[in-house]
Amino acid sequence: MEEYLIYIGGGLLILCLMLLLIEHIRLSRLVKKYKLLMQGLSEKNVEDLMVSYSDELLNIKDQINGDIESRIKNLENRMPTCLRNFGLVSYNAFENVGNNMSFSLSALDDKKNGFLLTGIYTRENSYLYAKEIISGQSKKELSREEKEALSKALSFTK
pLDDT band at 155 (very low <50, low <70, confident <90, very high): very high
State how beta strands 102-108 and 85-91 pair.
antiparallel
Q: Which residues are CB-neighbours of 6 under 8 A, at least 6 positions away?
A: none
**Per-residue model confidence (pLDDT) at position 95:** 78
Q: What pLDDT is attached to residue 142? A: 95
pLDDT band at residue 158 under the 50/70/90 scheme: low
Q: Are 140 and 153 in contact (CB under 8 A)?
A: no
Average pLDDT, the chain: 89
Please tell me the least confidently modeled range out of 27-31, 36-40, 121-125. 36-40
Predicted confidence (pLDDT) per residue in 41-93, tens digit: 666 667 777 888 899 999 999 889 888 988 999 988 888 889 999 999 999 88
Say what the pLDDT of residue 98 is: 72
Count of C-beta atoms within a 10 Å radius of residue 105: 20
Rounded-to-10 torsion of CA 148, 152, 153, 154: 90
Residue 111 confidence (pLDDT) above 70: yes
Give the pLDDT score at 137. Answer: 94
- Domains of the chain, by residue range, sit at 83-154
Alpha helix segments (H runs only) across the chain: 2-38, 46-78, 144-154
pLDDT band, very low/low/confident/very high, at 114 (cuts 50, 70, 90): very high
Which residues are within 8 A (CB) of 81 and not within 5 positions of it... i.e. 6 or more apart?
109, 110, 111
8 Å CB contact between 143 and 156: no
